[in-house]
Amino acid sequence: MKFAASLFECVVKDSSTPMVIVESVGWGAKGIYANTAFQDLTGFTTADIASRGLEILHGEETDPRGVTQLRTALTGGRELRLVLRSYCKDGSWFWNMLHAIPLRQEVGDSTHSLIMSDDVSNGRSVVEHLERRAHHDQLTGLPNRYVLNDRLDQAIFQAQQDGDWFALVFVDVNHFKQINDSLGHDVGDELLRLVAARLAHCVRADDTVSRVGGDEFVLLLPNMPVNFDVAAVRKRVSDALKRPVLLNGRRIELSCSIGVSVYPLDGCDRASLFRSADLEMYRNKSSRNPRPGSLLLNYNGSPQKSLIDCPAPVKHSDQVPNSLIPELV
């Protein structure tokens, strides 16, 4: 015990790195301790953190997606690094490089987390550039697989809490290799940028359109009503891409293969949802006479398919008629 107390003094209390210890139950978790360096950086004391948790650093311009990402990591006992706009006690703000580390007993799950802070405001332009390169596709500017995986994890967590459904849509541009080889890589690159723009234009502001490699794109559509019209989602995506394009003086007829998986009908975790959508997309792509933008749907609104046994939501949403489904605009 004396050694543990001495270790705490050296590593946390007397550290020049701002640190807080919180319970691992989310952004509003009860704070246990804030060291002197954290108090010097933010102006908040242990008593402040104890009353409001990390939420005390949250302001109106703090990225809500980052807040959800941190909450998910704390609740799940996962390590996480991210940059958030944080607010001090005097109302000023700074770019906070947060590093959350779960603290575990010898046996059992994490019950607390150590949060280290670093003011990176002076180097924020460099950080933003590196973050963008790490999190976005360089050709289209769309979020990459890393961002998609993170947002999908958030969508699963939120759906389990609220009882909502969501859709994962795989899109593959048909005959892209032939177009790329015959007309050149510059035309192929321009075609991919055009596809990216059309997909981004046909979804809602909170949806995610990502390029995961080659001519494959994935759309994440969270917060959908229970029993929403999957066919309507497919048609909207297909209609966005089927218009012909003129590139390098050549008229190109676009078609795509689409696969859709629905939480919770097709899975309750990232792997099963990816697998289901991918299977549907390639089954459609390899069909003998595929229609442009056609889709062999997993779910068509009929009661033929039963729900997979997912974790029960904390609260349940009422079922919403298909006519009330929000437009993906």
Per-residue pLDDT tens digits for 140-164: 999 999 999 999 999 999 999 888 8
Name which of 25-39, 41-55, 174-188, 211-225 the model is least confident about: 25-39
Q: How much of the chain exceeds pLDDT 90, in percent?
A: 42
Q: What is the pTM of this model?
A: 0.55
Class of domain 136-323: alpha beta
Mode of pairing for the β-strands spanning 93-104 and 80-87: antiparallel
CA separation, residue 184 to residues 62, 70, 180, 253 (Å): 44, 44, 5, 16
Q: Max CA-CA distance within the chain?
A: 78
Nearest to 171, CA basis, from 263, 240, 232: 240
Topology of the domain comprising 12-132? Beta-Lactamase (3.30.450)
Alpha-carbon distance of 29 to 32, in angstroms, equals 9
pLDDT in tens, 213-233: 899 999 999 999 888 888 898
CB atoms within 10 A of CB 96: 23
Spans of all domains in the chain: 12-132, 136-323
Q: How wide is the angle at C-alpha 215 spanned by C-alphas 217 and 148, nearest 5°?
A: 25
Nearest to 52, CA basis, from 35, 27, 70: 27
Three-class DSSP category at 115: strand
Q: Is the N-terminal amide bond of 264 cis, ω within 30° of 0?
A: yes
List the structure tokens of 214: 């080659």
Nearest to 212, CA basis, from 140, 104, 158: 140
